[in-house]
Amino acid sequence: MFDRHPSGRHTLKEREEGKGIYRDLDGHLLANMDEAEFYRAVAREIANRQETRQHVIYRD
């Protein structure tokens, strides 16, 4: 899940299957003010997870 704070910060959140609570990811995926850098980091995160055969659903 993607979160855009009113301050302009972008954060990517994840939730494990069967759990109701989302948790913030870290690095460039947490409270990032640079939108382009954030989306590059999201693309890397998704690719890394897919390489390890994790199921990824991304909603922006």
**Full 3-state SS string of the chain:** CEEECCCCCEEEEECCCCCCCCEECCHHHCCECCHHHHHHHHHHHHHHHHHCCCCCCCCC
Q: Where are the domains of the chain?
A: 2-51
For residues 29-54, average pLDDT: 97
Identify whether the C-beta of residue 5 lies closer than 8 Å to the C-beta of residue 26.
no
> What's this model's pTM, rounded to 2 decimal places?
0.87
25-31 LR contacts (CB < 8 Å, sep 24+): 31/5
What residue has token string 């460039």?
Answer: 28
Q: What is the per-residue pLDDT across 44-54, written as a single tens digit (0 to 9) for each?
A: 999 999 999 99
